[in-house]
């Protein structure tokens, strides 16, 4: 079994939850050239579990779907359909020499969501959430770019601005620092009530903390939900129910923001902004970096009493 596969197993279980990708003890796997068989539990409460086989040469050779382990909802034909779709997805995302399972799972989830008819309440939430995601990303960038530098001398004439800024200083809860191969990962979590507040908190952190500014990457994700009527002034539409807002930013660490946001979705946490800073140590970590990013974020969420320690 390759180190890349071991790292990918750890990353998948970190992102989607423990037990999402587990190895089976099938006869013959101890032979030198035999593939490793894993059970992949697809995202969703009533999703199928698939049997995947990884050749010893993975990721230089592609994995394959060996069949279903558990059929979606027990519906006749659902498992066969999931096998067919996931096989198509694997063929589309696989590139020789690159791990592919996360991309395959995400692509499968997107296809499953697009095939399912949304409920009216979900349509309202998704429509307003998508509007806010697009706007939120630009607001994050604006906050990052326009954040005012800290006046270290304290002699600037800010008038009432200093008092206003002091009133909204974020209360960050920090994780333990994780160090591996000279790279350091540190997560921060703060409670927020709006997309604008999430952007302000990120901007304030970057502007006020020199170490954060010096990080190689600051990966961010946030989630907020409001009553629809209360969200009307912020770009959403009223009319009952709730509107959900969420966004993420890789800050150059490709796909890390989406994985961090997915962790928050799996843990079902709201009203928070998470920033994971990485200081690169010169050694590439491959997909394991995603597990470390999520591990730091999870630790900060636990320390903030937002989730239970498992």
82-94 pLDDT, tens digit per residue, is 888 999 999 988 9
Residue ranges and CATH numbers for the domains of the chain are 3-115 (3.10.110.10), 120-151+158-303 (3.30.230.30)
* pTM reported for the whole predicted model: 0.60
Q: Give CA separation, 210 vs 8, 152, 192, 203, 257, in Å.
A: 33, 12, 23, 12, 22
Q: Which residues have C-beta within 8 Å of that of residue 266, sequence separation ≥ 6?
A: 15, 16, 17
Q: 114-122, long-range: CB within 8 Å, 24+ apart, which pairs? A: 121/241
Can you give the pLDDT of all 310 residues of the chain as single tens digits? 688 898 889 888 888 888 899 998 654 555 667 889 999 998 876 678 999 999 999 999 999 998 888 776 666 677 788 888 999 999 988 988 888 998 898 888 888 877 665 544 444 444 444 444 433 343 334 444 433 333 344 444 444 333 344 446 789 999 999 999 999 999 999 999 999 999 999 999 998 899 999 999 999 999 999 887 655 555 444 445 889 999 999 999 988 999 999 999 989 999 999 999 999 999 999 888 999 999 999 999 999 999 866 5
For residue 26, the Cα-to-chain-centroid distance in whole angstroms is: 32
């Amino acid at each position: 079994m390759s180190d890349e596969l071991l790292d990918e197993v750890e990353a998948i279980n970190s992102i989607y939850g423990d037990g999402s990708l587990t190895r089976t003890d099938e006869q013959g796997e101890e032979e030198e050239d035999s593939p490793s068989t894993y059970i992949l539990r697809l995202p969703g409460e009533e999703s199928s579990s698939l049997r995947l086989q990884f050749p010893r040469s993975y990721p230089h050779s592609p994995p394959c779907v060996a069949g279903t382990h558990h059929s979606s909802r027990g519906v006749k034909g659902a498992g066969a359909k999931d096998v067919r779709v996931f096989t198509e997805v694997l063929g589309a995302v696989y590139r020789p020499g690159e791990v592919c399972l996360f991309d395959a799972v995400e692509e499968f989830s997107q296809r499953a969501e697009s095939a399912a008819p949304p409920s009216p309440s979900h349509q309202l939430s998704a429509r307003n959430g998508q509007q806010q995601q697009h706007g939120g990303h630009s607001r994050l960038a604006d906050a990052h770019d326009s954040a005012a530098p800290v006046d270290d001398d304290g002699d600037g004439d800010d008038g009432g601005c200093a008092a206003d800024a002091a009133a909204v200083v974020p209360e960050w809860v920090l994780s333990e620092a994780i160090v591996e191969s000279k790279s350091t990962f540190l997560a921060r979590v703060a409670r927020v009530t709006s997309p604008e507040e999430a952007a302000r908190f990120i901007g304030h952190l970057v502007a006020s903390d020199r170490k954060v500014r010096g990080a190689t990457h600051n990966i961010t994700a946030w989630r907020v939900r409001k009553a629809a009527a209360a969200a009307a002034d912020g770009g959403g539409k009223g009319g009952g129910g709730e509107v959900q807002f969420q966004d993420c930013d890789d800050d150059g660490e490709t796909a890390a923001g989406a994985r961090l946001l997915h962790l928050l979705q799996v843990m079902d946490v709201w009203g928070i902004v998470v920033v994971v800073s990485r200081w690169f140590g010169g050694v590439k970590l491959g997909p394991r970096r995603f597990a470390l990013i999520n591990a730091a974020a999870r630790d900060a969420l636990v320390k903030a009493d937002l989730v239970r320690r498992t």
